[in-house]
Amino acid sequence: MESTSGQRSGSSGNPGKRKKVHVGTGAPSRRLTAEPQLKVKVEAKHEAPGQTHSHGEHRGSSGYSTGRSRAGDATARAKREERARRLAQHSRTRRIRLVVVVALSIVVVGGLFALYRSPLFAIKVVDVQGAELLSVETVQTLAAVPEDATLLRYPKKAIIARVEADPWVEVVILTRDFPDTLRIRVTERTPVALVDMGEKFWVVDSTGMVLGEQSFEDTATLIVIRDVQGLDPKPGRRSSSDTLDNALKVLVGIGGELRGKVRAISAPTVDETTLLTIDAIEILMGEAVEVEDKAFLALSIMKEQAGKVVFIDVRSIDNPVSRGL
């Protein structure tokens, strides 16, 4: 049924061109009218023969990426192989060097051992230096260098111990003079006094080391220490007498000027230690303290009272005492 209800009165226009409106009563009809469904017709496009397909372009791009990836894998593999080759070469080089070093070490050690055991550099001369109180022959006998000894193979410690066992020897130094000389340098102890034991005279150094027994005539230049009690001197052994030790400290400490005037020291006790001069003057020194000051006082009094003084007591440097003829 056609409806003319939508025609306005008095309107102009061709009635034949009016739109037809279908009026439905159901809900589907209203929905379809309100939201019309558009049907899209897909038509195949015909392309020119020379035109490149888009999907072909995609396939070409994918193939290029794949080729580049394969080339990168090959480069990485080549680098890994080169690195492995270098590491293997470095390892071989290190092993070769180690073998060479070990071989050379064996050769060197073997050569040194053979040289050590060989008679090369045999000791033919034993040169002794520094010996004055001891003879050269005595030192050589003490050293007792083995006949088969060489400059590379000799008993150094044993030789030194044998020479130093002599009381007169303080220090021994061995040196080698290639090709055939062993040099023994000796430092002897210095005797400073003779200890009068009544029947014997014992030579001692400044430390109280007993060097040996000698006659008074052989050591006339040494000052004699007498009246020491309880001595038991043994060559090569240091005295344990406090009295003798005090007398030696006094003798060493008085200086050369006063020492040149002293011929003997009487030391029955530490406090009674007395210098006896060649001018028959007794100088009571006592304990070996402030020895230089005591010596200076004694010399001053001797000069002031020359030819008159016979006794000087300088045990107290603040209150010296002297007596004359």
Q: What is the pLDDT of residue 113?
A: 60
Q: What is the pLDDT of residue 237?
A: 93
Q: What is the pLDDT of residue 164?
A: 95
pLDDT of residue 61 exceeding 80, the answer is no
pLDDT-derived band at 317 (thresholds 50, 70, 90) equals very high
The predicted-structure confidence for 65-121, as pLDDT tens digits, reads as follows 666 777 778 888 888 888 888 888 888 898 888 888 888 788 777 666 665 667 889
Q: What is the pLDDT of residue 21?
A: 46
Q: Which long-range contacts (CB under 8 A, 24 or more apart) does 113-116 make?
A: 115/152, 116/152, 116/153
pLDDT of residue 285 exceeding 90, the answer is yes
Q: What is the mean pLDDT of residues 278-303?
A: 96
Better pLDDT: 34 or 131: 131
Q: What is the pLDDT of residue 210?
A: 95
Is the pTM of the predicted complex or chain greater than 0.85?
no
The predicted-structure confidence for 207-247, as pLDDT tens digits, reads as follows 999 999 987 676 778 999 999 998 889 999 999 999 999 99
pLDDT of residue 187 exceeding 80, the answer is yes
Q: What is the pLDDT of residue 274?
A: 98
Q: What is the pLDDT of residue 73?
A: 83
Q: What is the mean pLDDT of the chain?
A: 82
pLDDT-derived band at 159 (thresholds 50, 70, 90) equals very high
CA 48, chain centre distance (Å): 94
